[in-house]
Each structure stands twice: as C-alpha cells, then as structure tokens.
Amino acid sequence: MSQVVVDISVSLDGYVTGPNAGIGNGLGDGGEAVHDWVFHGTDADRAVLDAAFESSGAVVQGRNLFDVIDAPGGWSDEMGYGAKPTGELNPPVFVVTHTPPAETRLGDRFRFVSSPAEAIAQAAEVAGGKDVYVMGGGQICHAVLSEGLADVLRLHLAPVVLGGGTRLFPAEAAPAYALELIEAVSTPAAQHLTYRVVKGQ
C-alpha cells in the first residue's frame, strides 16, 4: 500500500534553498550545499537516493519548483527527480497550482491539480502500490505535513547553515504533530533521518 513520503534536503537552520531562489537559480544563493550529498556523497548516500527512486510511484511538487525545472536549463529526460540515464520509467509528477501553464517544455509527465489533497489522491491512484513522494519545494512539503496527509517525513540534513532562503517550516504558528524516528543513516555529507508521522494525537 502506498505511503505518502515527504522527502527533502534541508540545512541545519531549516532552509531548503538559499536566498534569491527562482528560475535560473533554483537552489538559491549557496543552496547547492544542501544537495551536496546527492552529487558528491558516499556509497551510503547513493543507497539512500537509489532506495527512494525504487520506491517512488508518483511525485507531488509545488508550482514554484515546477517553474524552475520546466524553464530552459531545468530538467531533461536525463536529470531531475526519478530520472536516470539507464532507461528506467520516470514516475508521473503532480503539480499543485491554481493556474496551470498553457504548455510545458517537459511534456505530459506533469499533471496539474488545485490542492495538496487532490494531488496526493491522484498520485496514489497511479503509484502502482509504490510510495507517493512529496519532493518540494518547502511550501508544499509543509502543507502536506500540516494538513495531516503525510505518513513519513524523510529529512536529508546537510551540515551547512544558509542563514536565509526558503524555509521548510514557517516562522509563524502552524499545526503541531508528533514524529517517531524509524531510521537514521549518517554520512559526512548528510544525516538521513526518517520519521513516521504519528496520526491521531
């Protein structure tokens, strides 16, 4: 049965991008350091990444992230979430937005829905029993958590303080929920922390 997994890299001070994130600067100023484990990690980091790919049946993301990856210089068939150069099938991506674009550079892999709950429901229908991964940005990850839609929170905690950027958790008050640590993988590039979201409290 599909689980909803919020899976995101984050700095020690809680930012998923550096300052000035946007088209052409998707990770913000200095934000690449948060994803250093993906590109320059150890075998243990690669195993974490490969396990996520294997368990992904569908992906949910927000419109800001979509605009970054659909822009020129963004994703291609050989890069991006779930994209590998060895021919594996890329999972469908559900983008939460009230204003779908008239056309996309990346074709029909992307589907546009108006709410996190709708995105999760539609993604679960096509995931084929695999997990639904909520991959960003920070706003959609937080929305899925705060609305009680997530089963698992997986943080890739990078050893960097960005000092500003896009927060995973907002500064203002938000719904509370409990987490239970179920797995921890430690590497020099990241602490990979997997939590079960405790329901019904």
Q: Say what the pLDDT of residue 83 is.
A: 46
Q: Are residues 70 and 62 in contact, defined by beta-carbon separation less than 8 angstroms?
A: no
pLDDT digits 0-9 by tens, 31-65: 999 999 999 999 999 999 989 988 999 999 999 98
Which pair of tokens denotes residue 6? 């919020």
Amino acid sitting at position 145: L
pLDDT digits 0-9 by tens, 149-164: 999 999 999 999 999 9
| Residue 76 banded pLDDT, cuts 50, 70, 90 | low
Q: Say what the pLDDT of residue 73 is.
A: 75
Count CA atoms within 13 Å of residue 73 on its CB side. 6
| Residue 77 banded pLDDT, cuts 50, 70, 90 | low
pLDDT digits 0-9 by tens, 84-137: 544 456 788 999 999 998 888 777 778 999 999 999 999 999 999 999 999 988
Which residues on adjacent β-strands are paired with residue 17?
166
Could you tell me the CATH number of the domain that includes residue 138? 3.40.430.10
What is the value of pTM for the model shown?
0.91
HEC secondary structure over 18-44? CCCCECCECCCCCHHHHHHHHHHCCHH
Domain count, the chain: 1
Which pair of tokens denotes residue 105? 């550079």
Domain that holds residue 126: 4-198
Tokens 């822009």, residue? 71
Overall average pLDDT of the 14-18 stretch: 96
Q: What is the DSSP letter of 108?
A: G
